[in-house]
Structure formats: structure tokens, C-alpha cells
Amino acid sequence: MNQLFFIFLLVLFSLVTLSCSHDTVVNVPVFVGGGKLISAQPIKPQQLQLLNGVYDVIDGSDQFGKKVVVKRTGKTLSIFTGKNAGLFVFQCGRIDSTLIFEGYWRYTQGGETGLAQFEIPAENNGKPLLQGILPTPSFFFQGKIGNGSAEPTINITLQYNSPLKDTTFVILAHRGGGRNSDRLPESENSLGMIQLAESFGANGIEIDVRLTKDGIPILFHDENFSPRLVNGDYCVGPVSNYTFAAIRTLCTLKNKELVPTLKEALEVVVNKTTLTYVWLDIKSPEAIASAAALQQEYQKKAFAAGRKLDIYIGLSNDELVDRYKKENMVSSADALCELSMEDVRAVNAKVWAPRWTLGPLGSNAQAMHSENRKIFVWTLDQREFILPFLTQGNIDGILTNYPALIAFEYYVFQ
Amino acid sequence: MMRFVLIVALLLSFCISQLCSTERNAGPYISFPYPFQQYTLCYSIGASLTIFPRSVVEEEIRQIPMVNTSVRYGLPYNFSLITQFSTVYIINSVSAGAMWSYPLGDVSLALSDEFTYWFGFADLDGFDTQAMGLLNRPGISVGIDIDDYKITMKSEMLILFSQHTYFGSASVGKVKPEIAGVVTSAILEQDIWKSTFMSFALRAHYARPNYQVWLAFAVQDRWLLYPDVQISFVF
């Protein structure tokens, strides 16, 4: 009996160790030799913007659904599809009057990906677009895709349907752009991920802020270091046990990036993106003061650079609310509050951010709007849960792990 | 998954090599596929703990043990009725089904099928949510009776028939049968001490996000491993 019990314990132990899972990154495929863009001139953003619109999928609907949204996203052109939260991200250029778009497509909820190459020939709408003439319903945006690193050979044809409505709707990308479990090419809460957020469809980001032992605010979600987020055999236990120098020495994020400071992250937001919203999800009360100081500094920098940028101190629990009040921030900083409407009022938060699991907001939304506060709902990732909120039409933004999905649903719904 | 299968195969080989006495211990059992005496009842009470993949729950959901109870009732023609109930409030399940057994000396085989209705409630801060679903679990078991121990290897498929989620005043639902996973179990039932019978079960759920993590609202379709341990008293 003892032998059998021992083997049983061995199996138990093995089972426990078997429970670990590894998120393998899905790499972005690239064109060998740089593709055609290597010898292309840039396209002006305002010219690229003319391609914005809702398009019908003539060839490729099996893979991407019947409609897609095409949108200029910073310096890139993105296409958002409803299927599997799919997207295309194109770098753009022109050779004479032929417009070239090269990049990749990806199911952000699945991981399938491949190369993508589109063209607008000079004699077929290339010249008019460069001259500022809007596409018409007879405009076809065509190209090819491949699977993985294979050369693109599968035809995709999109037909222009309608323009995108001007909107102030906010699509916030969770953890800077996405989570490690989504196997994106950059780690969550990294500088690289922040720079990808716009091409994924976001115009804002949410980032997680913690304090190191020596009081430096860094971007990190979990309370403890673990193989889920970091590499480094000596990076274990609470983040707050480590100085910033120790973290930089001992740990990297999963894709080998350095753990960024909040200052570095806001520097990237202001200087390398056109994001307009940043939600600082503060993880400990001690971080509020330093986060608020950086909020003030970078909102001023953005203003000086002619940029619109709203940075919010996120208050997710009573401890944070109490500390925010204690630090006398109510009149000096901009807050976002996840708690009750009374708490929102108590801290004079600019944004109320209720969890989506409370359901549609009804008259509560009207009350908040009448007080000139915005409403962001979090974290919505599935179409069937998103639609009731879009249908009610009383929210100002959504925090999501799949900004491409929200962008698609929002613009097609509009 | 392969490692688990190899380890269980080693365990099974060890057990087979220990085969000796044909005298069967007549103690109670729940999972062992040997035919149940007609119109007799046996039940178990215990607890189980499922280890959730970190990529699904991160630090957000803490695993706490579920309380389980199972009942087996013998019917004619080697059939048994099986019911199970598990609860931890946030997630609960009720199962009912049948097993048909076929004895081959010290080895027994069984086919089983159970329907599981699961339901969960979350009315804590930030949640006004409920979810429920219906699963079917067809399975096959092989059991070996060795002296005081009854060892069962069971393999089941999880077929998800429906799932509904209610959040505030809204609800969404899906009614579409799909294979959601497979479960492989190794169960040891034995007399521990002075006719106190216990059951120890190790399960490997290899599945899309398990109903036990419904509160994570995971959207990734990847099949991941959810190991599960259960210990029960059998009466």
C-alpha cells in the first residue's frame, strides 16, 4: 500500500508541475529583403487618411468576414476585421504615383498570421488619392496575403462602402496594447507595445503603475514577479522588494525588453505616438504622488508640443481613493474612478470607469454625463458583450485587450 | 499532456505487475467500473482543487477547493446511476448520468455518460453577473482491483451544448454543440484505516477555458491543461 501511495504522490507532484503553460510569441512575418517599400517614398498622412472607410470584402470574406474597417493609424494603415479580432498593419509608401502597402495580417484572438501586400496603381486611383480626391464606391483596394512567412498569393479585394464617422469615441488598449497571453510581438506594459497600440486600433492606453522599493514608478501589472511576466531566475516575489537598479539588472520582460519606468513610457507616448488618452492604473497608494507629478509634467509637455493628451490617475479601490484625497489631489490632478458614482464625485474624477460585468448603465450614464464626466467601460473583449454597450450608446470609451475588435465593431455599428 | 499520459501508464504498469490475489475487497467504491450491486447505494463526500493556467487567470482568480459529493446507485444489467454535485458558490455543478460495467476478472471496463449543468454567481464589487451552461461527458473507464486498492483510469470528452451569461440587465447566450476538451483521470479507491474508505483522484482537463474559469471571460481558444486533485471519503 505504501508503494502505491508513494507513486500516487509522485503523479500528483508531476501533475502540479505540468500545470505550467508557456505563451509562445507569434512573430510578425517580414518581407525578405524589405519588400517593395525599400525603394518607396513616404505618403503624407492626410493622403493616407483618405483611405479611411468601411469596405465590403469581395475576395477574402471566408477569412476576414463580409466587412472591414480601413483606418490610418499614426504612420501606418490598419484594417480591422470582425473575424477573430483580425487586423492588418501596413507600412506605406509610394513609387511614383503607385501606392504600396506592405505588412502583415493577424488574428489577435487566434494567433494565425501572414504577410500582406496591397497596391493602388497610379492609373487606378493612385493619382487621384495623391491629389486628395476621396474614394468612391467604385474604388477597390486590392492585394494579396500569405500564411506565415510564405509569399502572398491569396487575393483579397475590398470595395469602398462608406466613410468613417468622425468620432471622439475612445478605444483604450489594455496594458499598453495587449497581454502576454495574446502572444503579441511585444510584452505587455512595454515601450514597444505602447508604440504598437495605435496600429492595433487604439487611441488611448491603460498601463499599470507600481512603485519599486526606492520609490520609482514602473510599469508592471502583477504584485509579484513570476515567469508569466519576466525572465530572470532571481526575479521572484513582490516587486516592491526590489530597487529599480536591481530590477533592471535581474529581470527583463518576456520578450527581453527592459522593465520601463512610468517616465519613459510617458516620454514615448508624447514623442512617438499620437495617442490621446493614458489611464494610469495605480497598483499601490504610495505610487499616487509620483504618478500625479509625472501626469502634470507630461500633460504640459504634450500641450507645448501642440498635442491633445489626457492622462488620468486610475483609482480602483478605497485605499487609493483615500490616499488621493489625503494627498490633496482632488483639485490638482485628473482622476479616473472605477468605484461607485459617489466615489467618483468625492474625488471629482473626470472619468467614471465601471466594470462591464455590472451590465449596461442606464440612467447612471446620464447622471455622469450631466456632470460632464466621461464613461469608460472595462475590459470588453467579446463581441456579444460589446454590442449591448454600443447599442445603448451612452459610453465614451472601452478598455479592451483587442482594440482591433472594438474599432471594427464601433465603426461598422456607426 | 504526453508527460501525464506516460506517468499514468507507468503507474498502471506497476499496478498490473502487482496483480496477485483474486479476492476482491468488498468495500464501497464510486468510480471503480466493476458492476454495482443492484439497488444499493454508495456515496462520497470530499473536496477538489483545480489548478488554473496562469495565462488565463493571472493573479486575478485564487483557486479555492470545491466541495464535492457523489452518489452511485446500482441498477440491473450492470448499470449504475451516477450523480455528482460540486460547489464553491462562484462555480457550481450538478451532474447526472449512467454507467454500464463489464467485468473481466480483476479488470473491469465501463462506458458512461453524464450531463453536467454548471452555474455560477458573482455579485461582489464590480460584478452583477451570472453564468450557466450544459455539458455532456461521455467516457470510458478501465479498472483494476488489487488487494485493498481499486484503481480506475477514466477518459471523458467534454461536449459543450450551451452557455449563457447575464450581466446587469443584459444577457448573451450560445447554443451550439462543440467539443470543449478531454479529461483523463486516475482514481485510487482504498481502505485507508479500519474500514475507512477513501478516494484519491488526479485529473487532467485538457480543454478550452474551462467552465470553472468562467469569471475570467477568457477569449483565447487554445486548449490548456487544468490539473485537478480530489480527495473524498467513500461510504
Contacts of B10 in chain A (CB under 8 A): 7
Tell me the CA distances in angstroms from A35 to A101, A120, A314, B57, one per residue in order.
10, 16, 43, 40
Whose grid coordinates read 517580414? A30
CB contact (8 A) between residue A359 and residue B202: no
Classify burial at B23, counting beta carbons within 10 Å of its beta carbon; exposed 0-12, middle 13-18, buried 19 or more. exposed
Q: Specify the pLDDT at position A137.
A: 74
Neighbours of B1 (CB within 10 A): 13
List phi, psi (to 5°) of B165.
-130, 135
Which percentage of chain A shows pLDDT scores above 90?
Answer: 70
d(CA B45, nearest CA chain A) in Å: 20
> Which residues are CB-contacts of A384 (< 8 A; sequence separation ≥ 6)?
B172, B174
Mean pLDDT of all residues in A206-213: 97
Q: Cα–Cα distance between A376 and A356 in angstroms, integer?
A: 9
Query: Mean pLDDT in chain A?
Result: 90
Looking at residue B70, its pLDDT comes to 95
Per-residue pLDDT at B19 = 38
Nearest to B219 among A14, A224, A382 (CB): A382
Q: How far is CA A304 from the centre of its chain?
A: 25
Strand partners, B30: none
Residue A306: how many CB atoms within 10 A of its CB? 6
HEC-encoded secondary structure of chain A: CHHHHHHHHHHHHHHHHHCCCCCCCCCCCCCHHHCHHHHCECCCHHHHHCCCEEEEEEECHHHHCCEEEEEEECCEEEEEECHHHEEEEEEEEEECCEEEEEEEEEECCCCCEEEEEEEECHHHHHHHHHCCCCCCCCCEEEEEECCECCCCCEEEEEEEEECCCCCCCEEEEHHHCCCHHHCCCCCCCCHHHHHHCCCCCCCEEEEEEEECCCCCEEECCCCEECCCCEECCCCCEEHHHCCHHHHHHHCEECCCCCCCEHHHHHHHHHHHCCCCEEEEEECCHHHHHHHHHHHHHHHHHHHHCCCCCEEEEEECCHHHHHHHHHCCCCCCCCEEECCCHHHHHHCCCCEECCEHHHCCCCHHHHHHHHCCCEEEEECCCCHHHHHHHHHHCCCCEEEECCHHHHHHHHHHHC
Of the candidates A348, A344, A278, the one whose C-alpha atom is nearest the C-alpha of residue A316 is A344
Give the per-residue pLDDT at B208: 85
Residue with cell 460632464: A372
Omega prior to A379 cis, within 30 of 0: yes
Between the alpha carbon of residue B58 and those of residues B10, B54, B61, B97, the distances in Å are 33, 5, 7, 34
How close is the nearest chain B Cα to the Cα of A372, in Å? 23
List phi, psi (to 5°) of A57: -90, 115
% of chain B at pLDDT higher than 70: 88
- pLDDT (average), residues A328-346: 91
Inform me whether the C-beta atom of residue B197 falls under 8 Å from chain A C-beta atoms: no
Lowest mean pLDDT of A12-16, A134-138, A151-155, A408-412, name the range: A12-16
- For residue range B51-81, what is the model confidence (pLDDT) as tens digits? 888 878 887 777 788 999 999 999 999 999 9
Within 10 angstroms of residue B10's Cβ, the number of other Cβ atoms is 13
Q: How high is the ipTM of this complex? A: 0.75
The pLDDT of residue B20: 33
Identify the pLDDT of residue A15: 54
**Exposed, middle or buried, B29 (CB in 10 Å: 0-12/13-18/19+)?**
buried
Tell me the chain A residues in contact with residue B126 when contact means C-beta distances shorter than 8 Å.
Answer: 338, 354-355, 357-358
Lookup: cell for A33: 529583403
Chain-chain contact of A388 with B170 (C-beta, under 8 angstroms)? yes
- Asked if residues A202 and A172 have their Cβ atoms less than 8 Å apart, the reply is yes
Reference A43, options A14, A17, A67, A75; nearest CA is A75
CB atoms within 10 A of CB A201: 28
Tell which B residues from 105 to 124 touch A, by Cβ distance under 8 Å: 122
Query: Do residues A175 and A207 touch, judged by C-beta distance below 8 A?
Result: yes
* Mean pLDDT, residues A339-358: 94
Check if B76 contacts A (Cβ < 8 Å). no
Q: Which residues make beta-bridge pairs with A315?
A: A337
Evaluate whether A235 touches A227 at the Cβ level (below 8 Å): no
pLDDT at A11 over 60: no
Residue B23, pLDDT score? 39
Q: What pairing do the DSSP bridges indicate for beta strands A204-211 and B41-50?
A: unpaired
pLDDT at A13 over 80: no
Query: What number of other Cβ atoms are within 10 A of residue B135's Cβ?
Result: 22
Q: Are strands A237-238 and A224-225 parallel, antiparallel or unpaired?
A: antiparallel
Q: Give contacts of A402 with chain B, Cβ < 8 Å.
A: 219
Sign of CA dihedral A361, A362, A367, A371: positive
What mean pLDDT is predicted for residues A61-75? 93
pLDDT tier for residue B5 given thresholds of 50, 70 and 90: low
- Predicted confidence at residue A5, as pLDDT, reads 55
Asked if B149's CB is within 8 angstroms of A362's CB, the reply is: no
What is the mean predicted confidence (pLDDT) over A140-152? 93
Q: Are A222 and B204 inside 8 Å of each other by CB?
A: no
d(CA B82, CA B141) in angstroms, rounded, equals 14
Mean per-residue pLDDT, A201-209: 97
A16–B219 C-beta distance less than 8 A: no
Name the residue in chain A with its Cα closest to that of B151: A4
The residue among B150, B153, B145, B151 whose CA lies nearest residue B112 is B153
